[in-house]
Amino acid sequence: MLIDIIAGARPNFIKIAPVIEAIVAKKKEGVAIDYRLVHTGQHYDKKMSHDFFEQLGIPEPDHNLEAGSGTQAEQTARIMTGYEKLLMSQPCDLCIVVGDVTSTMACAITAKKLGNIKVAHVEGGIRSGDWTMPEEINRIVTDSISDYFFTTSATANDNLRKAGVTTDRIFFVGNTMIDTLLKQLPFFTPPTIWNTLSLTAGGYIITTLHRPANVDDASGLEKLLSEIIKASNGLPIIFPVHPRTAKMLEKTGIKADNLHMTEPMSYLEFNYMVKNAKVVVTDSGGITEETTVMRVPCMTLRENTERPETCTVGTNELLGTNPDAIAPAFKMLFSGNWKKGAIPEMWDGKTAPRIIEHIIHIFGIV
Ligand code: UD1
């Protein structure tokens, strides 16, 4: 059986690494299972792509569709055209897509439309309810055509059932992002800035911002950053800047003695910084899962989340996008009363082997 593994953007790379590892382990045991890694090329910078492959030990992609940047439609179209060409000359039996990025949706549609390829969605069923996010549309479209769903939470299972998915196609397996986190934890390494600024555990803030709602308007971005700076009590704010945000930051010219902007960090360096941070202030979804497992306080600058368990079980608080919410949250943090959190069910580092066991069973592979 040949499985295509699709990866396009930074968070995908973290999610596919353990899935590939689990397939390779089964192949070594003599199970008739193999994979082909398809990189769509949505993220192409060394720091957004190559460094992740290297650090996470992901093999070289078998195919790179080189889709590159563009509008949502341009990117989707290039990924679909490239993947369709590949599937028409060399089909697979199952296409595994992960997460909610444009590559996820584009490849799911392409595989499904060819008629005889099954589609499995790892991280299926999560919903923010916010239709202005491209990721929410990607989730809904992908889930509406997938055959099998490997889910991270009971809420995701409920969402799928409400959408009419039969229970026999939903597999609650946990979180592959956490498989990677727990495996790599002993190898986290401090980035250069750790020494340059003589940082100490619990003595700084990490910020990441890349959602269009927060960064595509220069004055809004400036207001958010100013509030973080004001609320920070002078602690160093380390801000690894996503390329999308970098373009807008140039227009703001914002500066502060304790604001340190850096290039995007590698996986091992970034998570070293998260693990030791006083707090993480972010608009990412994936990072809120990592802070939950590492029990680091997290403030999310979004109105909603598709990962509610990071708030109900974990250390995450949704502050919304109004900058006025930042100061009270920091007050709570500095008073020492931030919630300690717990680890969500099945986020135990063994999700990918569970996924592959289910696939072996579903397809009757021997
Ligand atoms: C994408 C995902 C988002 C994910 C994020 C993580 C979608 C809709 N969004 O958002 O869910 O959280 O990745 O990083 O798929 N760029 C570079 N170098 C690169 C990649 C992108 O300079 O290697 C630039 C592009 O030119 C573009 C901008 O960054 O202007 C945005 O890239 P894009 O892939 O469209 O979306 P992200 O904002 O990265």
Whichever domain contains 148, its CATH number is 3.40.50.2000
**Ligand 1 pocket residues where CB is under 6 Å:** 9-11, 42-45, 48-49, 69, 100-102, 134-135, 210, 242-244
Quote the ligand 1 centre to 181 CA distance (angstroms): 22
Quote the ligand 1 centre to 340 CA distance (angstroms): 32
- The angle formed by the CA atoms of residues 327, 329 and 332, to the nearest 5 degrees, is 110
221 and 287 share one domain:
yes
> Residue 150 carries which side chain, given as an amino acid letter?
F
219 and 329 share one domain:
yes
115 and 197 share one domain:
no
210 and 300 share one domain:
yes
15 and 145 share one domain:
yes
Among the atoms of ligand 1, which is closest to the Cα of residue 42? 34
157 and 13 share one domain:
yes
**Residue 142 token pair:** 């992908």
150 and 17 share one domain:
yes
Quote the ligand 1 centre to 354 CA distance (angstroms): 30
Q: Which domain holds residue 287?
A: 188-334
For 199-240, what is each residue's pLDDT tens digit?
A: 999 999 999 999 998 999 999 999 999 999 999 999 999 999
Task: Tell me whether residue 35 is in a domain.
Answer: yes
Hey, whose CA ends up nearest to atom 28 of ligand 1? 244
- 14 touches 52 (CB < 8 A): yes
Catalytic residue among 39, 43, 121, 210: 210
Q: Measure Cα distances from 131 to 138, 216, 291, 304, 344 in Å.
A: 10, 17, 26, 11, 26
146 and 192 share one domain:
no
Spell 44-68 as b/e; 16+ CB within 10 A means b. Answer: beeebbebbbebbebeebebebebe
Residue 210 bears catalytic tag: yes
46 and 125 share one domain:
yes
How many Cβ atoms from other residues are within 10 Å of residue 262's Cβ? 15
Provide the mean pLDDT of the chain: 97
Task: Tell me whether residue 340 is in a domain.
Answer: no
For 105-141, what is each residue's pLDDT tens digit?
A: 999 999 999 999 999 999 999 999 999 999 999 999 9
For 322-364, what is each residue's pLDDT tens digit?
A: 999 999 999 999 999 999 999 999 999 999 999 999 999 999 9
Among the atoms of ligand 1, which is closest to the Cα of residue 134? 8
99 and 206 share one domain:
no
pTM greater than the 0.95 cutoff: yes
- The percent of residues above 90 in pLDDT, for the chain, comes to 98
Identify the pLDDT of residue 253. Answer: 86
197 and 299 share one domain:
yes
Task: Tell me whether residue 341 is in a domain.
Answer: no
Q: Structural domain tally of the chain?
A: 2
Task: Tell me whether residue 330 is in a domain.
Answer: yes
Task: Tell me whether residue 87 is in a domain.
Answer: yes
Which has more confidence, 189 or 250?
Answer: 189
